[in-house]
Every structure is written in structure tokens, then in C-alpha cells.
Amino acid sequence: MTIMTGLPESVLVTGAAGNIGQVLRRTLLPKIARVRLSDLRDVGPLAAHEEFVPADLLDLDQVRAAVRGTEAVIHLGGVSDEAGFDAIKGPNLEGVYNVFEACRREGVRLVVNTSSNRITGFHPAGTTLDGEEAVRPDGLYGAAKAFGEALASLYADRFGLDVISVRVGSFEERPTEPRHLHTWLSHDDAARLYGACLTAPPGSGHVVVYGVSRNTRSWWTQNAAASALGYRPADDAEDFAAELGAFTEPHQGGRYTRYEYGGWATRPGDTREP
């Protein structure tokens, strides 16, 4: 195993059983000397440099035990799509607080906080965003991610924690729908991006970066602080444009902005339970 220069020697990954976690285990994480994986689900067979520490994000003591002794945390845990408030509030609100608070108490310097493009889903399609615009979430999931970014800013300003909030785009092996021409994040570029975030120098504060590949039609660019991380994407959804067609919805969030998306909101006069 070759260790990449500039990366922390020990990293915790929450939500390690999820899609991004599993891809990073094949791409980026083998370059780190000691990797601690955490989830409530089985993460599968462990490599020699990996260990598994189960932790419920709702239990601060368990989260503290998971982060203890690590240099950085990649926070991937939580509900990963739109859902009702009862489902979202625990993992995505209390859970992200527990991660930041555990890092503060245990002296962990750096958190790579997985946010989402859904935090700006109601911005018009075609508008270029760089992470410094107002949030316009397309649902409760996006609103919870906005709460996580607000916490990240608080913990950076008040306690000196360095946090990179990654507004992950459409994380797919390859683009499969028209929206992905603007939002795709390839597996290889995700490894490049998270690797760049882990090398953020001390004193970076809170930085927002869009997790997107080098798409010709991208709606998202990087602000100066994000560009300084050195992320250099290589993949372009345009290579798949001929088979995808054009995106025609008015907002960047597309179907995620629709009234009924996620199943928790019914229209006035509809007496059916959501």
C-alpha cells in the first residue's frame, strides 16, 4: 500500500456502508495508513489498514469513542434522500451536531462534512453557483444539510475546527439522466475531491465546495477558498450527452423540487395520509 503525501495518517469515516463510503474504500482510503469505519450496518470484509467501530450518530458518547484518536473525519452518515421530518431529524440534525461536538471534545482538527447540491435545488437552472449564494433547499433533506453547514460555520468560527462542506452532486458511476449533464460527480473525481479536502491546511476554517466533475454544462463552479484546496476534476458528463437528452425543468433540483417528492407533503384538501 502506498501512502499519499499530505493526507492524515488516521481517518474516521461515518456512514461507511453507504455508496460514497464503499467507493472511497476502493479508491482514496487505501492511501491512508489507518482507516476507522463506522456505521450501524455491516461494512463487509476489512482490509489490513481498516478497523470497524459501530456508532449510533444519535449517541454522543459512541460518536466520541469513534472519533477518538483520529486526525480527521469524513462524515457521510445520515439519511441520504428526502424523507419526512421524523426520519430526517435524528441522523441529519442531531447526528451532525454530535459529530462536530465529538470532534471538538476529542481534539480532532478536520471534518469533511458531506453536504448536498440539494441545499440549492430551488435556484434556477442555468444559474452559476459557487457556494457563496443563499441556500434554497428543495426539501427537508436539503434544509437539514443547510443546518449542517451552519453548524460547520459555527464550529469553525467559535472553536477553530476546520470543516470542508462538500455539496455532493449526482454521485454515479456514469450519468443516466439529463440533469446529470450539469450535476454529475464521477467515482474517480469523488476520490480526487475527498483527497483534496483531507489535505486542507490548518486554519482553513469553513470552506464550501461543490462536489462536481469537470462537466461542460456544470451549474457549479468553485469559490476562491474551494479552489485553493487543489481539487482538479477530470471527468465530463458531456461524453454521455448523446444518450441523455436535454434537461427541461425550471429549477436545478429538478424532480426533487416537486410538491410530492419524498412522500411527506400532501396538497391542501387531500385527506390521505402521506
Three-state secondary-structure class, residue 228: coil
Does residue 194 carry a catalytic annotation? no
Q: Check 141, 194, 210, 231 and give the catalytic one.
A: 141
CB atoms within 10 A of CB 67: 28
Are 203 and 225 a contacting pair, CB within 8 Å? no
Strands 50-52 and 72-75: unpaired
- CA 189 – CA 236 distance, rounded (Å): 10
- CA 178 – CA 119 distance, rounded (Å): 20
- The b-or-e profile of 135-154 (16+ CB within 10 A means b, else e) is bbbbbbbbbbbbbbbebbee
Give how far Cα 44 sits from Cα of 20, 22, 246, Å: 14, 10, 39
As annotated, the active-site residues are: 141
